[in-house]
A and B are shown apart, each in its own frame.
Chain A
Amino acid sequence: MKKFNCPSCGAEVVFNSSHSVYAVCKYCSSMIVRHDVDVEAIGTMATLPEDMSPFQIGTEGYYQGAHFSLVGRMKMGWDDGSWNEWFMATDDGRKGWLAEAQGFYSICFEVDAPPPDFAVKAIQSQKKDNQFIGSSVVLDNQKLNVVDSKKASCIGSEGELPLAAPQGRLVVSVDLLGANGEFASVEIETGKLRAYSGHYVDWKEMRCSNIRTFDGW
C-alpha cells in the first residue's frame, strides 16, 4: 500500500494495489497519475452516471476460494449501453478484473496477449461483417470463440486502476466465450493489446460483502 497527497486538494490518496498507477481523488475528483516517486494531477473526473450496480469500492468477495476486494472502477460505454470493469486487489497480487454487464458477472486475470494480427482482425471487423465473430482463438491454453467486438469509450472512473482511464479513452473490446462458461476479453488501445481470461461467476458464488443496498431491495 502506498499513500500520496492529492496534488490538487492535499487529501490522502491510497494505492492499495501495487499494480495501480492511476486514481481518482474521492474528495476533489482529480485524476492522479503515479510516477516513480510522486503523483501528478491530469484533470478532473466528472460524476459517474447512476446505475444499479451491486458493487462499490470496498466490496469484498471470493473467486475460486481466493479473497478479493474492489479498489477501482472504469465505466465503459458503447453504442448499445454500458458496462463496469471493477479492478480487484487480490491477496496473491494477480491483476484481476470483475466485469459487470447486463446482469452477468465475470472475473478475469491478465494473461499473455494474442498476436497482433488478432487486433488487425478485430479492428477490421468494426468496418464490415467478416469471419472474425465466431472464430476460435486459443488464449491462456483455453479454446474460446469470439462473441462480439465493439468500439467502446471510458464514461468515467473512480478509485485506483492499473491504467489511466480518463473520460473518452477509446478501445476496441473483444469478448470471447468457452464451452463451459470460460470468458475472456481482449482490449485494444492504439495498437496495444491486453488480454484477460477467466470465468463467468454467479452472484451467490462470490459471497460478496460490503455491497450496495437499494430502497425496496
Chain B
Amino acid sequence: MAGKSVKSFSCPACGGIVEIRAAGHTISAVCAHCSTLIDTANDNFKIIKKDHEASRITDIPIGAKGVLDSIKWEVIGYVEKKDKSSMSYWDEYLLFNPYFGFRFLVQADGHWNFASVIKRHLPQAGVASEIALSGESYSVYCRGLSTVEYVKGEFYWRVRKGDEDKYVDYIAPPKMLTVEKNRQEVTETLAEYIEPEVVEKAFGIELPTKTGVAPNQPAPFHDKLGSIWKITILSIFVGLVIQWNMGSGTMVNSTHIHIAHTERDKTFSTPVFNLPNSSNLFARSMVPVSNDWMELDLSLVNEETNKAYGTRQVIEYYSGNDEGEYWSEGGQVEESSFSAVPAGNYRMLIDPSPGKMGDNGMDVSLEIKRNVAVWSNFWIIFFFIIVFPLYAFLYRWYFENKRWENSDYAPAIYSSGESDD
C-alpha cells in the first residue's frame, strides 16, 4: 500500500491547511496562507513567528516536481539570502525525494547550481585557501556572512528571517564547495554549475537571463583548450612538412629561344608539356639585357580547351659608371607564377616586345616548374590555423578575469591592479 506523500495540519495562527511534504524530516514550515513560521519538530505545532508579509511568487513554485540528474525532485522550500557586506542576493531552493534525500538549487544573477550536502571531515575547510577534495583542488573565492531575508515552504533545519551564517566559497569550476558555519554546526555543500535551460526544462518554467560570469561557471572550451592547442601545433607541423616536401618544385620545361632582330613581332612557343595534376606553375625568364629592356607577354594555353592564362614580364637592366662609381639597376631575371593550374597538356606562348635590341637579336631562356613551395601560402594557412586557438586563448583569459572580478582572492594574473586599497 502506497503511503501518503503529504501530511497536513491546521495552522495554529490562521487555521488554514499546512502541507508537509517531507514528514519526519521537516522541523520548520511556513504557512502558505498567513506566512506564519511553525515548529513542526513534534505534533504541538508551535508558532515560531507570525508574519504579515504576503507570500512571494518564486521562480520555481513550491510543490513543483522536476527531473535533475535523472532523479525526480520536489521543491519543498525556498530561502532568499543576502550577503551582509556585498548586499548581493541569491535564492536557495530545497529539493526532496523520499529515497534520495535532499538537494539544493541555488540561483544568483540568473546562474544556477545543483548542490548537495557532503558528509566528509575536511579539517581545513573554511580556514585554508586551498582545499583538496576527491582529487580536485578548490581555491577560495569569497568569505562572507549570509543572512536569511525570506523563507517559504518547509525545512529540515530551524530557519527564520535574520539567521546568520559565516560562509566560505571555494571553486574548482564547474564545481563549488561552500563551507557554512553557525553556532551549532559546520555544513559543507558541494555544488555543480548547471545551465538555466536545464532547470527550465526540468520544471517546465521560464527563467530570467543570466548576467556576468558566475564564480564556478565553466569557462568556454574549458575542457578543450588542451586539445585545441595540440591540433594547432600538429596542423602547423603538417603544413611545414608539406612545404618542405614541395621544395623547389619539378622542372616541366626548359626552352631557349633566339630572337633575331628581324623577328621583333614574332610569337614563339615552347614544346607541349604535361601537368600530371593540378598545381602551381612558375615561369622564370632570363634575358641578358644590358642598358636595355625586354617585355615578354606569356600565355599559358591548354592544348585541349584552349583556355589561356596570361602574364607579362618586364626585364630591364641598366648599369654605368658615374665619376668612378659603378651603379646598376634592375635585373636580367624575372619570375611569374600561375596558381592552381588544372592538369593537362600545355604550351607557353611567348610574345616578346624588345627594347633597342641590337643586330645580334636577343636570347631568352625560359624555365617552367610546377609544385613550387610558396611561403605566402603557408603563412595564410598558418594564420587560419592560429586564429581560432588564439581567439579561444584570449577569450578564456577575458572570461577568467571576469570570474575573479568579484573576488578578493583572485590569482595574481587575473587581478588587474584595480585593488581597493
Contacts and interface: CB of A to CB of B under 8 A. Distances in A.
A131 interface: no
B97 interface: yes
Contact of A50 (B23, B122, B156, B185): B23
B49 interface: no
A53 B25 CA distance: 9
A49 B41 CA distance: 11
B119 A217 contact: no
Given A80-B157, A144-B121, A217-B72, A49 B24 contact: yes
Contacts of A79: 41
Contacts of A82: 24, 41
Given A77-B42, A183-B119, A217 B24 contact: no
Interface stretch (B2-10, B170-178, B387-395): B2-10
A81 B43 CA distance: 11
Chain A: number of interface residues, binned into ranges: 20 to 34
Contact of A215 (B2, B43, B119): B2
Interface stretch (B81-89, B98-106, B310-318): B98-106
Given A50-B4, A181-B120, A217 B101 contact: no
A214 B98 contact: yes
A102 B120 contact: no
A201 to B, nearest CB: 10
A103 B119 contact: no
B158 interface: yes
A145 B124 CA distance: 13
Interface stretch (A4-12, A25-33, A37-45, A172-180): A172-180
B5 A81 contact: no
Given A103-B156, A212-B3, A49 B43 contact: yes
Contacts of A84: 24
B96 interface: yes
B97 A177 contact: no
B24 A179 contact: no
Contacts of A51: 23-25
Contacts of A147: 121, 185
A140 interface: no
A147 B119 CA distance: 10
Nearest to B97: A217
Interface in A159-217: 177-181, 183, 200, 203, 211-217
B99 A203 contact: yes
B189 to A, nearest CB: 13
- Of the candidates A147, A181, A217, the one having the most CB atoms from chain B within 10 angstroms of its own CB is A217
Given A103-B156, A211-B99, A52 B5 contact: yes
B121 A177 contact: yes
Contact of B4 (A179, A181, A215): A215
A103 B96 contact: yes
A181 B23 contact: no
A215 B184 CA distance: 35
25 contacts: A49-B23, A49-B43, A50-B4, A50-B7, A51-B25, A52-B22, A52-B23, A52-B25, A81-B41, A102-B101, A103-B101, A103-B156, A104-B119, A145-B123, A148-B185, A180-B120, A181-B120, A203-B101, A213-B2, A213-B3, A214-B3, A214-B4, A214-B98, A215-B2, A217-B5
Interface of B: 2-5, 7, 21-25, 27, 41-43, 65, 72, 96-102, 117, 119-123, 156-158, 184-185
Return the 4 tightest CB-CB contacts between A and B, nearest first.
A103-B101, A51-B24, A214-B5, A103-B102
